[in-house]
Structure 1
C-alpha cells in the first residue's frame, strides 16, 4: 500500500501543533503553581465554603429578592482552568496526528520510535486528564482536583521533552512496517506497552513529587518555595499507587503478549533479548512497589523510591535499549 503523502503531512503538522499546545499548557500550569500559596487543606476547605456561600446565600442572609454576586475566581485557579482546557485541545490534536499517520500508512501508528514516543505521550496526557476528571466530580466535597493541578506542569515537562526528541532526533518518514513487524500482534502487544508506559510515567512523576512534598512536610524550612505549593502527600501517593495498581496487569499482559509474538516470529517464547530482559526487570520493580505498599514498614517514602526507580528503568528501556543496544527489538527506524 502506497503512503498517502498528503495525510502524512497533515499528521506532522498536527503533531507540531500539539507540541506547541502542550508547552503552552505547561507554562500555564507552572504559572498557576507560582501563584498558589502553600497547599493548606484547612485553608482550602475554608475558601471552598466561602465560594459556595458567596454564590448561593440564604434569604435570611441576603434579603428577599437580593442577588448575591459570585466571588471572583483567584488568578491561580483561572490559569489552571486554562491549562486544562489547552491540554484537552492538545490531546485532541495529538490524537488526530496519530490517526492521520495510521490512515496514511494503512497500519497501526506505532511502527518506529517517533510514532512510539508520540503514542506514549498521548497515553500519559489522557491518563492525567482522566485523573483530573474523576477528581473534579467531587470538587464540592474537597479541593483535591484543584490541588492536583499542580502536578500538571511537572507531567507536561517530560511529555514536551519526549515529543520534541521524537519529532526531531527520532523522526521517521511515514512508511510501511518492516517485515518482522507485519503482524496483528503489533496492535495487541505494542498498544498494551504504550498505554502501560504512559500511565507509569504519570505514576513516576507523582511519586517523585511525593518525595519532594514529604521532605517539605518533615523539614518546612527546606525547599519551601516548591514543596509548600505541591498537592498534599496523601493525594500524590494515592495517584501514584492507583495508577500503578491499575496498569500493572496491562504491563503484565504486554510482556506475555510479547512472548507469544516472539514464539510465532522467532520460534521461542523467551530468549533474554535486551528488550525482554529490561522489560522483565521493570515488571519485577513494579511488583516490588506494589508489595512494598502492602508492607507496613515500606509504605510511604521507601515505596515511592521504588516507583521512581521503576520509572528510571522504563526510560532506560525506552531510549538506551531501543536505540543504543543491538537486539531483535532494534526497530528504531532513525
Structure 2
C-alpha cells in the first residue's frame, strides 16, 4: 500500500514535469493549464499520505530519513505550486523544482531508513528531537528553493547573453526575480538550520548529563560536517547582503552551500561510519538515572 501511494503522487508529479517538457518543445498554453492541476492533485495525495504516516506513528512524520524526505518533497511541491499560481504568465519554474521533488522522493523511497532515531526516546527528549529535525527540514527546503532560483538565474543569464527570446522556450523569471527568491530563501534557511543545529547540540549535551557520556561524539563525522556546513551558510548569508557580491558569484556560493547540505545529510553517512541517526544511541528516557 505504501509503494502504491508513493507511485501515485510521484507519478502525478512526473506527469506535471512531462506537461512542462511538452510546452518546452511544442509551446502552447494547454500544458500551462494542466501543470498546476496535476501539482495540486499530487499535493493532495501526497499530503494525505504524510498525514496518515503521522497519525499511524502518533507524532510528526519526521523521525526517520524516509519520512523527512517525504515531508521535504511535499513542502517543495507546495512552494512550486505557489510560485506557479502567483505568476501572471506561464513560466518554467516547474522544470527546475519538479525534478528536485522527484529526486527527493526517489532517494527517500529507495534508500531512506524507516527506523526512527527517537524510537527509545520519550517525553521532552522526543519532543526536542522532533523540533530539531523540523527546523533542519525547513532549512533544507529553503536551500532547495535557493538552489532552484540559482539555476533559473543561470539559465536566464545565458539566454540574455545569447539574446534569445522567450518564444524560443519557456518564459523564465527575470534575473531580479530569481535573485529575490534566492535572497529570501537564503535568509530563511540560515536561521532555520542554525536553530536546528543548536537544538541538536543541546539535546546531545543533555543526554550526556544524564548518561555521563554524550549520545554522539563531538568528533563524529556528521557533527563535524554539519559545523562546516553552517560556516558555508554563514558566509553565503554574509555575501548575500554585500553589494559587491551579486549575480553569478552568489549563485555559485548557493551551489556550494547546496552541495554541503546534500553531503552532510546523505553523503557523509555513506562514506564513513557515524552514530547520528542510529536508534541504538538514543537511550535517554525521562527519569533515567545515570
What TM-score do you get using the length of structure 1 for normalisation?
0.72
Tell me the alpha carbon deviations over residues 211-242 of structure 1, each in whole angstroms, 9 at most, x when there is no partner. Answer: 23213323447xx966x843322222221111
Q: Decide which of 250, 264, 273 is 2:192's aligned counterpart.
A: 250
Q: Decide which of 105, 108, 125 is 1:166's aligned counterpart.
A: 108
Q: What is the deviation of 1:20?
A: 0.8
Note if contact 2:143-2:189 (Cα within 8 Å) is conserved in structure 1.
yes
Q: What is the deviation of 1:101?
A: 1.4
Q: Which residue of 2 aligns with 1:178?
A: 119
> CA–CA distance in 1 between the matches of 2:153 and 2:269?
30
Q: How does 1:64-213 map to 2 (within 5 A)?
A: 75-76=28-29, 78-133=30-85, 135-136=86-87, 139=88, 143=89, 146-147=90-91, 150-170=92-112, 172=114, 177-179=118-120, 183-213=126-156
Q: Which residue of 2 aligns with 1:60?
A: none
Note if contact 2:63-2:133 (Cα within 8 Å) is conserved in structure 1.
no
Coordinate RMSD, CA, aligned: 2.8
> CA–CA distance in 2 between the matches of 1:164 and 1:113?
12
1:313 to 2:260 alignment: yes
1:27 to 2:22 alignment: no
Q: What is the deviation of 1:12?
A: 4.3
Q: How does 1:56-71 map to 2 (within 5 A)?
A: none
Q: What is the deviation of 1:314?
A: 1.0
> CA–CA distance in 1 between the matches of 2:45 and 2:76?
15
Q: Which residue of 2 aligns with 1:295?
A: 242
Q: Decide which of 220, 231, 249 is 1:284's aligned counterpart.
A: 231
Q: Decide which of 260, 266, 269 is 2:208's aligned counterpart.
A: 266
Query: Radius of gyration: which is bigger?
Result: 1
Note if contact 2:145-2:182 (Cα within 8 Å) is conserved in structure 1.
yes
What TM-score do you get using the length of structure 2 for normalisation?
0.82
Note if contact 1:323-1:332 (Cα within 8 Å) is conserved in structure 2.
no
Instruction: Please give the secondary structure, in 2, of the residue aligned with 1:230.
Output: coil
Q: Which runs of no fewer than 5 residues in structure 1 stay unpaired? A: 1-8, 37-74
Instruction: Please give the secondary structure, in 2, of the residue aligned with 1:313.
Output: helix
Matched positions, count: 271
> CA–CA distance in 2 between the matches of 1:281 and 1:264?
23
Q: What is the deviation of 1:119?
A: 1.6
Q: Which runs of no fewer than 5 residues in structure 2 stay unpaired? A: 281-290
